[in-house]
Amino acid sequence: MGTYVPNTEADRKNMLKACGMERMEDLYAGIPEELKRKEPLRIPEGKSEMEVRRLMEGLARKNRVYGTVFRGAGAYRHYIPSIVGEVVGKEEFRTAYTPYQAEISQGVLQSIFEFQTDICELTGMAAANASVYDGATAAAEACGMCLEKKRRKILVSAAVDPKVLSVVRTYAFGRDAEVTVVPEREGVTDLEALKSLADGETACLLLQTPNYYGCFEDADAAAEAAHGAGAKLIMSCNPIALAIMKTPGETGADIAVGEGQPLGLPLSFGGPYLGFMAADEKMTRKLPGRIVGQTEDRKGERCFVLTMQAREQHIRREKAGSNICSNEALCALTAGVYLAAMGPEGLRKAALSCRAKAHYLKDRLEEAGLKAVYAQPFFHEFVTAAPDEQAAERILKALEARDILGGLPLGGGRMLWCATEMNTREEMDRAAETVREVLDA
């Protein structure tokens, strides 16, 4: 890339001189010497475009793409209407970046406004921001929104996705906040333990429903327990499930968050994904990132404005509650186009199909010899138990041999399965028959 660097050596010297420095190393004077690398990086020689293409194609061939997938755990395989890619692939969207001169970018602002409106309708909340990096970031940012001078304790349900809990812990460490895990019982949050842990130092409770094990939580009872201690309730939700479940707003949640990947984003080897955040009216001004609003111009015509930017680059940044610098605008646009294409009834049908097929798969796997671990109502994920760890490993290998990605191993012979509208009855029957063959062998 050296030939693409626009600044010459003379330019760099002039810039250093303007900063009152003589050498490039002076820019890093504040870094302790023991942390600086002494030897040069061992960067290999450059390659031609043809060589790079061959290398990347060789690496891509190492990936295993399964024909049938029964695994979720935070990233889900859903049907994406063709119109979604057609719209999002337009050059004016793909090349657009963060609108620093916001009002000039009416198209980008409108797409964000529509996304925010969709999220508010899904969650039943008063306002949504222009998205954040992913669902885990959204959860961690929401916890930060709730911290107060005398309330530094964050309660997190043990039934929350472990990856989300890990990110919350990282953010809490930087804010000198304490994270306490509320134990789960029979696949859902232990409400008695929650009541005993929630006290005057508690800032918030992070509850996921459907939770990591696929079970629906008693969000009403959790909200009552959190609010009874003067704490906020953060509900993390699957956006597809929101089409058929009680919304966070109806439950009394203060903040709703989640991973937006199911809304038209492919699995894509883990990203980029999309974190959505929405809050009630009292918490709106604490939302990180941006909020786009609708208004009228001097001619009385509809237009869009950047209503709020709670960002660290702006005034009073030493009091910023977040260091989110951008938003996943293209992913948010994708979610908006997906929701427009599906419509309320289409989203509801997708959710009902997911739930029905997951229940069918559970029944077939139980008939094949796997035991369902939890008796709780669930959406499209559930946990089974094999006789032992070795049996679970044999099952997954046998499924893999038939081009099927089975449930996620949770240890002790337990597996977390997922079914979506993409799975057919034939696929589920074939998976169950494979399980039966392994257990009967």
Question: Where among 306, 339, 372 does a domain terminate?
Answer: 339
Whether residue 420 is predicted with pLDDT greater than 60 in this model: the reply is: yes
Share of the chain above pLDDT 70, in %: 95
Residue finishing a domain among 273, 307, 339: 339
* Domain of residue 144, residue span: 82-339
Sign of CA dihedral 26, 27, 32, 36: negative
Q: What pLDDT score was predicted for residue 93?
A: 83
Residue 326: Cβ within 10 Å count = 14
Instruction: Give the DSSP letter string of 342-396.
Output: HHHHHHHHHHHHHHHHHHHHHHHHHHHTPEES--S-BSSEEEEE-SSHHHHHHHH
Amino acid at 114: E
Q: Please report where in the chains the tokens 């039943």 appear, as a residue.
A: 124
pLDDT of residue 226: 98
Residues 289, 412 within the same domain: no
CA–CA dist 292, 280 (Å, integer): 16
Contact in structure between 256 and 71 (CB atoms under 8 Å): no
230 and 283 co-located in one domain = yes
145-169: b (≥16 Cβ within 10 Å) or e: bbbeeebebbbbbbbbbebbbebbb
- pLDDT score of 262 more than 70: yes
Mean pLDDT of the chain: 93
Interval 30-70: pLDDT, tens: 999 999 988 888 888 989 999 999 999 999 999 999 999 99
pLDDT tier for residue 99 given thresholds of 50, 70 and 90: low
Give how far Cα 165 sits from Cα of 4, 161, 171, 237, Å. 41, 6, 10, 15
* CA–CA gap between residue 140 and residue 120 (Å, rounded): 20
pLDDT in tens, 100-156: 666 778 888 899 999 999 999 999 999 999 999 999 999 999 999 999 999 999 999
Q: Is 37 contained in some domain? A: no
Return d(Cα 339, Cα 347) in angstroms, integer.
Answer: 7
Alpha carbons 99 and 335: distance in angstroms, whole number: 19
Residue 262 falls inside a structural domain = yes
pTM of the predicted model as reported, rounded to 2 decimal places:
0.89
> Does residue 248 share a domain with residue 368?
no
Range from 84-93, 98-107, 371-380 carrying the lowest mean pLDDT: 98-107
Residue 170 has pLDDT above 90, yes or no: yes
Residues 113 and 236 in one domain: yes
| Res 316: pLDDT | 64
Q: Tell how strand 414-418 and strand 289-296 pair up.
A: unpaired
Look at residue 25 and tell me if it is in a domain.
Answer: no
At residue 1 the predicted structure's pLDDT band, cuts being 50, 70 and 90, is very low
Nearest to 258 by CA among 212, 323, 303, 304: 212
DSSP 199-264: -TTEEEEEEESS-TTSBPP-HHHHHHHHHHTT-EEEEE--TTGGGTS--HHHHT-SEEEEE-TTTT
Asked if 263 and 119 sit in the same domain, the reply is: yes
Confidence band for 322, pLDDT divided at 50, 70 and 90: confident
Q: For 219-244, what is the mean pLDDT?
A: 98
Percentage of residues of the chain with pLDDT beyond 90 = 81
Confidence (pLDDT) at 38: 86
Residue 38 within a domain: no
Reported as type and span, the H/E element at residue 398 is helix 389-401
Asked if residue 317 is part of any domain, the answer here is yes
In a domain, 53, yes or no: no
Whether the CB-CB separation of 395 and 434 falls below 8 Å is answered with yes
Residue tagged 């309708």 (tokens): 121
CA angle 408, 382, 227 (to 5 degrees): 110
Q: Which of 305, 339, 373 delimits the end of a domain?
A: 339
Q: Who's near 107: CB < 8 A, 6+ residues apart?
A: 92, 93, 96
Query: Tokens 């460490």 label which residue?
Result: 173
Total domain count for the chain? Answer: 2
Residue 407 belongs to domain with CATH number = 3.90.1150.10
What local confidence, expressed as pLDDT, does residue 97 receive?
Answer: 66
Token digits for 11?
């330019």
Query: How far is Cα 374 from Cα 187, in angstroms, rounded to an integer?
Result: 6
Q: What is the mean pLDDT of residues 208-222?
A: 98
Q: Is residue 222 part of a domain?
A: yes
Residue 130, domain CATH: 3.40.640.10
Indicate whether 159 and 113 sit together in one domain: yes
Sign of CA dihedral 124, 130, 134, 139: negative
User: Is the distance from CB of 325 to CB of 67 less than 8 angstroms?
Assistant: no
Instruction: Sort strands 188-189 and 184-185 into parallel, antiparallel or unpaired.
Output: antiparallel
Check whether residue 155 and residue 103 sit in a common domain: yes
Same domain, 299 and 362: no
Confirm whether 44 is domain-assigned. Answer: no
219 lies in the same domain as 315: yes
What's the confidence (pLDDT) of residue 306? 85
> In this predicted structure, what is the pLDDT of residue 320?
74
| pLDDT tops 60 at residue 246 | yes
Could you give the CA distance from residue 358 to residue 425 in angstroms, rounded to a whole number? 11
Token pair for 32: 């302790």
Maximum pairwise Cα distance, the chain:
78
Measured distance CA(240)–CA(78) in Å, rounded? 10
Same domain for 321 and 363, yes or no, is: no
